[in-house]
Amino acid sequence: QPHERSYAMYTPFLSVLELEVPTIAALNGHAIGGGFGLALACDLRIANVGAKYGANFARLGLSSGMAISYILPRLVGVPKAAELMFTGRIFKGDEAAQMGLVNDAVEGEQVLARAMELAGEIAASAPVAIRLIKRTLYEGLSWDPKGAAFKEAYGQAMTVNTADAKEGMSALLEKRKPHFNGR
């Protein structure tokens, strides 16, 4: 089925969710769409203040993917997540930090160093305790991003062949505003 193919495409990226140790996304460049979803699947995120981030699926005529509709509201709240997903608005790293989407936003050349510094702080803690804390943290949230990603894959399969999706992709490539007609 088309939605199963979409989900199969997510699977390697969503495997980051299975790691018992904390994961840190060092976002030195832009992360939009699926790349944004991969960043959200990580436990912690360090952003480049000037890089661009966002879930622009609606602007492309597509339903969201990579469990973004599940993870994003848990990070920034439902109203902000709805705004970002409904509008497809792209924002910079400094705004991502202001809304609590990332742990820190630094200049591009400092992103990896800051991520490594944070990793070092975590590594100074007891490994067994960290793994158990991570597990109980997410179990307490009834965390199921893979289930959400499967549902989103269904939504993407339903939208990928619509006239709106074709228009959205064409508009992106032609660097113009899309003209959607609801088909």
Over residues 141-162, the pLDDT tens digits come to 888 888 888 888 888 878 888 9
Q: Which residues pair with 58 in a beta bridge?
A: none
Instruction: Give 3-state DSSP helix, strand, coil % of the chain, rounded to 5.
Output: 60, 10, 30
Q: Specify the residue for token string 């930090």.
A: 97
Angle of helix 34-41 relative to helix 68-76, nearest 10 degrees, comes to: 60
Three-point CA angle 147, 27, 124, nearest 5°: 85
Backbone φ/ψ region at 22: left (φ over 0), alpha (ψ -120 to 50), beta: beta
Write out pLDDT tens, residues 61-117.
998 988 999 999 999 999 999 999 999 999 999 999 999 999 999 999 999 999 999
Residue 9 pLDDT greater than 80, yes or no: no
Structure tokens that stand for 19 in this block? 């790691």
Q: How far apart, in Å, are the Cα atoms of 22 and each of 33, 77, 117, 127, 129? A: 23, 22, 14, 10, 12
Structure tokens that stand for 1 in this block? 């089925």
As a residue count, the chain comes to: 183
Q: Which residues pair with 53 in a beta bridge?
A: 31, 91
- 138 Cβ neighbours under 8 A, 6+ residues apart: none
Confidence (pLDDT) at 6 = 76
Residue 7 pLDDT greater than 80, yes or no: no
